[in-house]
A and B are shown apart, each in its own frame.
Chain A
Amino acid sequence: MIDITTLTIATAHTHLINKDFFARDLAEAYLAEIKKTNGDINAYLEIYDDVLAQADNADKIIASGTATLLTGIPIALKDNLLITGKHVTSASKILEGYVAPYDATVVDKLKKEHVVFLGRTNMDEFAMGGSTENSAFGVTKNPLDMTRVAGGSSGGSAAVVAMNGALGALGSDTGGSVREPATFCGVVGLKPTYGGVSRHGLMAMGSSLDVIGPITKTVTDAEILFNAIKGQDMFDSTTYPDGQYPQNTNKKLVIGVPYHILEQEGIDQSVRDNFTESIKKLEQLGYEIQDISLPNIGYSLAVYYILMPAEVSSNLARFDGIKYGLHVDGDNLLQDYLKTRAQGFGPEVRRRILIGTYVLSAGYHDAYYNKAILLRQKISDEFAHAFQKVDAIVTPTTPTPSFKIGEKAHDPLSMYLADIFTVPANIVGIPAISIPSGMVTYEGSTLPVGLQIMAPHAHESVLFEISKKFLGE
């Protein structure tokens, strides 16, 4: 019997190489665990029918001596990443039955390492949400407390890692969708630098913000997956080559804390206390802590909820009931569009399309979209300025631990406020990681909270170094 509760990608790899067990045994252990727990948690939308065949193939590669760190490792994919011949729906009714015609670049890269793909994970429809409650296929429950949300939008990907349903998973992060669910489920979530990982084959939400990132149990595992999926790609012109950004050579890292953003309302005391302890721990580990100011960071969330819906309204215009997915028949072509999009999209997606249409419409474009673009530049400049003095910036990942299922479902704005610490990294395009920083008591439950670390463009190495020290890896 394989004890999957203590297994990581790194240790599983050693076991596979040492022939302690085969990739097939490992895959079977995960399939058995998923069968036991997924019914209640609803983290997987589908388990692929060729898992054991993939594992057998991985075993051949291992036997031939050409295995990489990821060969035979069971991995889950968020339901917005294309994998040839399999259903991919972005948890939307409008794509029910859609079969991917090609592999996303990240999937192609992992296939070349002979990863074992277990299945596709639940998410908020088209990655719009912070709780997976916007999925057309039911909410994903938090494996640590089944009355609470797993977070979102990559809630399924975080939950499968937390419930031992995969050794790692890929998610996508537009405003916190990897980091927030990782925090809620007590695991590690990395949002790489914008352009660090190809978006080819990722269903687009906010194209100037989206990035694919790993969710894992350890920082070491996140680094392994990140190294496997990163790099320039001819199919995504926003990916950058090695050497695009100068690398930090500072020996002794200085960490900045924008204490002023902790003064705003809505941040739970348990999160503040935990954050204070995390800062103490970083000091004890030898890092110099500096109070920094990011004067316009408070506008980040408002900027985000203008730019993202604007991009959403353009990106989702392609779902017209003609090229793929759902088709609802009307009296004429226009009625086909109107009916298909009304029935195919859920309420949150429709809301964001309408907001995006509004902020881009004549008469409001300058006041909303153009102003938000200016502020985005301003916030980016302030981060660049801060990074002249510090090597990394830390904040809590979320203002509260995981909330109850249904608690915010009827108040979209209160749901948006959960993204307050995570959206700046997307607006600026810098890498950010969320790592578990302890358990707190919140509304009578014991729940995990996360520490977010941000670094300048292409400095994921700084995030890994600090995170590993923090977690004692």
Chain B
Amino acid sequence: MITIKDIYHLADLARIKLEETEAEHITTEIDSILGYVGQIQGSGGDMRPEVPALHNVMRDDVVTNEKGQYTEALLHNAPLREGDYLKVKKIL
């Protein structure tokens, strides 16, 4: 059973501010979804972790674009910028 306190904690971890009006029904909804997906606990016995057939494929870390090719297009999307920097509030 998930509680409203758990939901506030998860929202904190996920960096989402929850309004009180929303927290209550989201708790009910998530509880019912977790109840449904929790059925996997009852699944059969002979499962062992195995080395998957698929593996990571890495390419060489090479430059694929011209210097500055995307700078303006990327920074254009930033809500706040100063020159070619993103502007953020102080972190420490």
Contact = CB atoms under 8 A, between A and B. Distances in A.
Given A234-B64, A337-B15, A324 B78 contact: yes
B14 A357 contact: yes
A317 B16 CA distance: 10
A332 B52 CA distance: 44
B63 interface: no
B77 A374 contact: no
A48 interface: no
Interface string B38-65: 1111011001111010001111000010
A101 B77 contact: yes
Contact of A336 (B41, B50, B86, B89): B89
Contacts of B52: 377
B4 interface: no
A375 interface: yes
B57 A238 contact: yes
A272 interface: no
A464 interface: no
B40 A306 contact: yes
A132 B19 CA distance: 25
B33 interface: yes
B40 A372 contact: yes
A342 B89 contact: no
B5 interface: no
Interface residues of B, number: 50
Contacts of A372: 37, 40
B14 to A, nearest CB: 5
Contacts of A334: 15
B15 A303 contact: no
A266 B46 CA distance: 30
Interface in B12-43: 13-19, 22, 26, 29-30, 32-34, 36-41, 43
A412 B26 CA distance: 10
Contact of A101 (B40, B58, B74, B79): B74
A137 interface: no
A305 B79 contact: no
Given A374-B49, A412-B33, A361 B10 contact: yes
A342 B40 contact: no
Interface in A362-414: 367-368, 370-375, 377-378, 412-413
A255 B19 CA distance: 52
Contacts of B49: 370, 373-374
Given A327-B80, A351-B30, A378 B39 contact: no
A374 B46 CA distance: 10
A371 B26 CA distance: 25
A203 B38 CA distance: 29
A262 interface: no
How big is the A interface, by class? 35 or more
A368 B30 contact: no
Given A101-B73, A306-B40, A358-B10, A321 B79 contact: yes
A322 B78 contact: yes
A333 B88 contact: yes
B16 A353 contact: yes
B29 A351 contact: yes
A85 B19 CA distance: 36
A332 B13 CA distance: 17
A317 B15 CA distance: 9
A123 B19 CA distance: 26
Contact of A333 (B13, B37, B38, B90): B90
Contacts of A324: 77-79
Nearest to A319: B15
Nearest to B59: A234
A262 B74 CA distance: 49
Interface string B68-83: 0010011011111000
A228 to B, nearest CB: 22
A302 B38 CA distance: 7
Contacts of B64: 234-235
B77 A354 contact: no
B27 to A, nearest CB: 10
Nearest to A345: B16
B59 A303 contact: no
B92 to A, nearest CB: 10
Contact of A303 (B40, B74, B80): B40
B78 to A, nearest CB: 6
Given A98-B77, A322-B79, A358-B34, A350 B16 contact: yes
Contacts of A413: 29, 32-33, 36
Contact of A371 (B41, B70, B89): B41
A325 B34 contact: no
A132 B53 CA distance: 36
A355 interface: yes
Given A342-B17, A377-B50, A412-B33, 8 more contacts: A101-B77, A302-B36, A323-B77, A327-B80, A354-B26, A368-B37, A374-B47, A375-B40
Interface of A: 84, 98-99, 101-102, 234-235, 237-238, 295-296, 299, 301-303, 305-306, 313, 317, 320-327, 332-334, 336-339, 341-342, 345, 347, 350-351, 353-355, 357-359, 361, 367-368, 370-375, 377-378, 412-413, 416
